[in-house]
Chains A and B, each alone.
Chain A
Amino acid sequence: MNFGPVIDGLPVLLQGLAVTLVLTVSTLLFGLLIAVPLAVARWSGPKWLSSLIWCFTFCVRGTPLLVQLFLVYYGSGQFRDELEAIGLWWFFREPWNCALLTFTLSTAAYTTEVLRGALMAVSNSQLEAGFAYGFTGLQKLRFIVLPQAFAYALPTYSNDIIFHLQATSFASLITIEDLAGVASVMANKTYLHYEFYLTAAAMYLVVVYSVLFALKRIEKSLRRFLYPG
C-alpha cells in the first residue's frame, strides 16, 4: 500500500466530492419540484393523466440508470443536426447537462411513486375536516395533505436519497469529474488502483452516513408531529 500520492491528491478528491454533492443536491431539488405535481396528479387527477404519469415512472424505474444516461448523452449525438436546427444542441453537448437531466428525471420518477403512496396513506377524515373548515382544494393540499404525506414518505425517501447520491457516481462514466471520476482518473494515472478506490469509498461512506444521521434526526422530529402525545 502506498498512500503518498493519495494524500497529495486529496485536494482534487475533495473537489470531486464537491461536484458529487452539487450534482446530488441540485438533481434532488429539481426532481422533487417535478415529483410533487406529478404525485398529486397521479393521486387525484383524471384516469388518463394518472396512467400517463404511471407510464413515465414505469419506463424510468424499469430500465437501468446507466442506459438512460448513455441514451441522453451519446444518443443525442445521433440527432445533432436536428438539435442544432431547433437550437438545443448546446444543451446536449455538455455532459454536465445530460447528467443533470437524466438524474433529475430518474429521481423525479422514484419520488413520484413514493409520494403517491404517502398521499394515499393520509386519512380521508383529514380531508373532510378541511372541507368542514371551508378550505379550497389547494388549501387542503397545502396545509393538510402535503405536510402529512411528506412526513409519511420520509423514511422511504431517505433510502431513495442515499440510492441517488450513490447513483451520481455514474456521471464519471460520461467524463464528469465527480468523486468517482477523479478517483478513477488518478488510479489510472498512478496505477494505484486500490489506494484511490478505497479512499473514494471511505469518503462516500462518511458522506452517506452523515446524510443518514441528519435524515434520522428529521424523521424523529416528524414522528412527534405525526403521532403527538
Chain B
Amino acid sequence: MLDGYGPMLFKGLTATLGVAVGAYCIALVLGVLGATAKLEGGRVTKGVAEAYTFVIRGVPELILLLLVFFAIPTLIQSIVRSISPEFVNFRLELEPFTSAVVALGFIYGASATEVFRGAIQAIPLGQLEAARAYGMYGRVLVVQVALPQLLRFALSGLSNLWLIVLKATALASVIQVVELMRVANLAAGATNKPFTFFLAAACIYLAISAVSLVCIKFIEVYSFRGTEQGAK
C-alpha cells in the first residue's frame, strides 16, 4: 500500500519526534529564563524578555524559521568577511536538523515564557508566607512549596504547547529536514501518489496527538491528586 516507503516513514517519524522533543526542551528552558526575567529581572533583562515575546508573537513561524535558516548564516558570514580580507572565502551553513530544533525552540520559548509567567503569578502569596513562617527558605521553599504548585498551574499551558510544537515540526520540511512531512513529500513525488502519502503522514500525526492527549490526561490526574479540582 505504501510502495515500500513504510520504513522511511518510520524513520521520518523518529526525526519528527526528535525535532519536537529537542525544540520543546529548548522552549522550556527559554520559558523559565524568560519568565524569571520578566518578573524578577532588572530594566535591561526585562526589556529583552518583553521584546522577545513581542516580536515572536507578531511574526509567522514560517518567516522566523526562514530568517534563522537563511538569514543568520548570511549575516554572520558577512560580518566575518568584513572583519578581515583573509576571511573572504568564509562560508557558514547550518545543518538543517539542528537549525530546525534551535529555531522552533526559540520560537516556542516565547509561548513557554507566557505560560510560566502566568503560573508563577498564580501561586497564592499566602502559601509562600506560610512556608516562610514554618522556617522554610531558599531551595526547600522552592522545591517543596512553590514548584509543585507552579507545575500544576502551568500544566494545561505546557500540554497545549507540546501539541503545538509537535504540529509545527512539519515546518522543518521547508528547510529540508528529512522528517515525516519531507519523507511523505519525497515518496509522493517518486510514486506519483501524493494523496496516499500525505494522508499516511496526517494519520501518523493524528496518532501521536492522540497518544499525547491520553498521556496528558494521566499526568493531569496524577498532578491534581489531593486537590479540590482532582476530586471532581
Contact = CB atoms under 8 A, between A and B. Distances in A.
A132 B50 CA distance: 51
A198 B71 contact: yes
Q: How large is the interface on A (under 10, 10 to 19, 20 to 34, 35 or more residues)?
A: 35 or more
Given A66-B181, A187-B70, A205-B55, A71 B195 contact: yes
Interface string B168-185: 111101100000010011
Contacts, number: 113
Interface of B is mostly: helix
Given A173-B174, A198-B71, A201-B63, A62 B209 contact: yes
A200 interface: yes
Given A62-B205, A64-B205, A205 B62 contact: no
B159 interface: no
B70 to A, nearest CB: 4
A201 B199 contact: no
Interface string A166-177: 110110110000
Which of A70, A162, A167 is most buried by chain B, counting CB atoms within 10 A of its CB? A70
B59 A205 contact: yes
A197 B71 contact: yes
A71 B202 contact: yes
Interface in A98-135: none
A63 interface: yes
Contact of A78 (B66, B173, B174, B194): B194
Given A187-B70, A201-B59, A67 B170 contact: yes
Nearest to B61: A166
A58 B214 CA distance: 14
Nearest to A2: B78
Contacts of A200: 63
Contact of B202 (A67, A205, A208): A67
B228 to A, nearest CB: 20
Contacts of A96: none
B12 to A, nearest CB: 12
Given A64-B168, A197-B63, A209 B198 contact: no
B63 A75 contact: no
A79 interface: yes
A78 B198 CA distance: 11
A64 B58 contact: no
A67 B181 CA distance: 7
Interface in A152-210: 162, 166-167, 169-170, 172-173, 180, 183-184, 187, 193-194, 197-198, 200-201, 204-205, 208-209
B205 A78 contact: no
B58 A205 contact: yes
Interface string A67-79: 1101100111111
Q: Shortest 8 CB-CB distances between A and B: which pairs? A: A194-B71, A75-B195, A64-B170, A166-B60, A205-B58, A62-B209, A74-B194, A78-B195
20 contacts: A59-B206, A62-B205, A63-B167, A63-B205, A67-B198, A70-B194, A71-B202, A75-B194, A77-B195, A78-B192, A78-B194, A162-B57, A169-B63, A180-B63, A194-B75, A197-B66, A201-B55, A204-B59, A205-B59, A208-B58
Given A68-B202, A204-B63, 9 more contacts: A64-B167, A64-B181, A71-B194, A169-B62, A173-B62, A193-B66, A193-B71, A197-B63, A205-B55
